Amino acid sequence: MFETDTIAAISTPSGTGGIGIIRISGDKAFEIARKIFEGKRSFDSFRSHTINYGKIVDPSTNETIDEVLLSRMDGPNTFTREDVIEINCHGGIAVQKRIIELVVREGARIAEPGEFTKRAFLNGRIDLTQAEAVIDLINSKTEAGSRAAVDQLEGKLSEKLKEVRKRLIELIAHIEVTVDYPEHDIEEITGQKIYEELNAIGSKLNNIIKNFDKGRIIREGISVVIVGRPNVGKSSLLNELSGKNKAIVTDIPGTTRDIIEEYVNIEGIPVKLIDTAGIRQTEDVVEKIGVEKARKSIESADLVIMMVDAGSGINSEDLEIMKAAREICNRKLIVLINKIDVADETSIKNIENTFDDVRTIRASIKEEKGIEELERAITESFVRDEIKTGSEMLVTNVRHKSLIDKAINNINDARTAFESGMPLDCLTIDIKNAAEHIGQITGESVSEDVMKSIFSRFCLGK
């Protein structure tokens, strides 16, 4: 599992920029740097963790490729615990491409996605939960999300889980001692202590995952689908909330044919807004596909905003959409009554009475009325104060939650076996399974396939 190839990658986003960073890690990192870097002093005179000015030169032609800053970092005091070189060059596409090609030609290979972090895990610098926190930190969309990822990166979750696994392994040792030395007649005392310890461990694991829904929202955000018949203002609402003219807005019904998504930050909560095609009966083949996609989006939504045109009032299409939304989505629902600037009070009241069992909000996207109230309603629908992170550690990863659930089930099975009067050694397999599931979270017992799945989500260069 421990690969020894020297790896290299461009660690900054592709495209034109002020700075580009090329990272090299492995036994040949310093050898490659000696060949391609020319500074005022020799490479061997550079101290570890210093930045040095010079040029990248192609040794075969003696051509200067770029002026750079080169960082030398001696292992094991590096992210990968290997010798690491970082080249800060200019951010042009052609420059970075030439340097990375030169590095590969001199003995490195292109790193796989997440391979630097994978090596940090394999070399014992971080555990698997911390490795997963790296990609969560990169992908975090709000301050709350980044704080949760940093907590995990610092090992707060690992610390709790490793303590649980240690206690489970100690229980197994106690059981084996009891079974191996039956003449001491301590099974009854040992059994009661093991039962009490299983209760305590089960409670601890339940406490760890009790705020998973909060953690999931912080990590993944709230999925909010905007539905309604054509031309009620769905695309205008998306543009207003996101602050971008992402969706085309016209007076022609059926303009939006596909799903349009945009992430926004509403009071510290990541919200994925999904603008859908107007739901209606249509003969247009492309629009039909859009309507079907809209229905599928409703199925997976955390919240549905149904928009109604106050100017034209309620019609049969609105009632059909509401019926579909109720049937498809058992989740939260808000009715946004748009275009109140062109409607009289009687028409607006009629709409509110029609949907009297659902929260309704009056709005005029054109005049920017009702937007703040809608944003408050979105966050209040998910209990804003509970979503904000405090001092507690949050489980945000579905993989972690699933494995902790399995460990809790194993512990419950062991407790049931004890309550049924079964011998202590019959409890061992369930306790071992619980320890195995916890070990899969931290990486103490994890398969290569699981690691491949996790690190495949990383970007190149990290």
Return the H-helix or E-strand segment holding 389: none
pLDDT the model gives residue 254? 42
Residue 197 counted as domain residue: yes
Question: Same domain, yes or no, for 407 and 433?
Answer: yes
Question: Same domain, yes or no, for 222 and 165?
Answer: no
C-alpha 10: how far from its chain's center? 23
Q: What is the CATH number of the domain that holds 278?
A: 3.40.50.300
Question: Same domain, yes or no, for 60 and 207?
Answer: no
Give me the domain span that covers residue 406. Answer: 131-211+395-443
C-alpha 72: how far from its chain's center? 32
pLDDT the model gives residue 58? 95
Q: Buried b / exposed e across 24-38, counting CB within 10 Å, b at 16+? A: bbbebbbbbbebbbe
Residue 301 counted as domain residue: yes
Contact predicate 194/424, CB 8 Å: yes
Q: What is the CATH number of the domain that holds 431?
A: 1.20.120.430
Residue 310 counted as domain residue: yes
pLDDT the model gives residue 11? 92
Residue 259 counted as domain residue: yes
Alpha helix ranges (H) inside 140-211: 143-153, 156-180, 187-209
Residue 153 counted as domain residue: yes
Residue 459 counted as domain residue: no
pLDDT the model gives residue 383? 53
Last residue of a domain, one of 387, 410, 426: 387
Question: Same domain, yes or no, for 21 and 92?
Answer: yes
pLDDT averaged per 10 residues in sequence order, the chain, 462 residues:
80 85 96 95 94 95 96 95 96 92 95 91 89 82 76 85 92 76 55 88 91 74 83 84 56 48 77 69 52 66 87 84 71 86 90 89 90 86 52 76 94 92 85 93 79 76 74
Three-state secondary structure call for residue 305: strand
Give the count of domains, the chain. Answer: 3
Q: What is the CATH number of the domain that holds 33?
A: 3.30.1360.120
Last residue of a domain, one of 127, 145, 165: 127
Residue 458 counted as domain residue: no
Question: Same domain, yes or no, for 223 and 343?
Answer: yes
How far apart are the C-alpha atoms of 348 and 337, rounded to whole Å? 8
Question: Same domain, yes or no, for 227 and 172?
Answer: no
Question: Same domain, yes or no, for 108 and 192?
Answer: no
How far apart are the C-alpha atoms of 444 and 386, rounded to whole Å? 32
Q: What is the pTM of this model?
A: 0.68
Burial of 112 (0-12, 13-18, 19+ CB in 10 A): middle
Last residue of a domain, one of 73, 106, 127: 127
Contact predicate 87/11, CB 8 Å: no
Question: Same domain, yes or no, for 415 and 379?
Answer: no
Question: Same domain, yes or no, for 111 and 176?
Answer: no
Return the H-helix or E-strand segment holding 375: helix 371-380
In terms of DSSP bridges, do strands 303-309 and 222-227 run parallel, antiparallel, or are they unpaired?
A: parallel
Question: Same domain, yes or no, for 59 and 121?
Answer: yes
Residue 63 counted as domain residue: yes
Question: Same domain, yes or no, for 262 and 179?
Answer: no
Question: Same domain, yes or no, for 78 and 176?
Answer: no
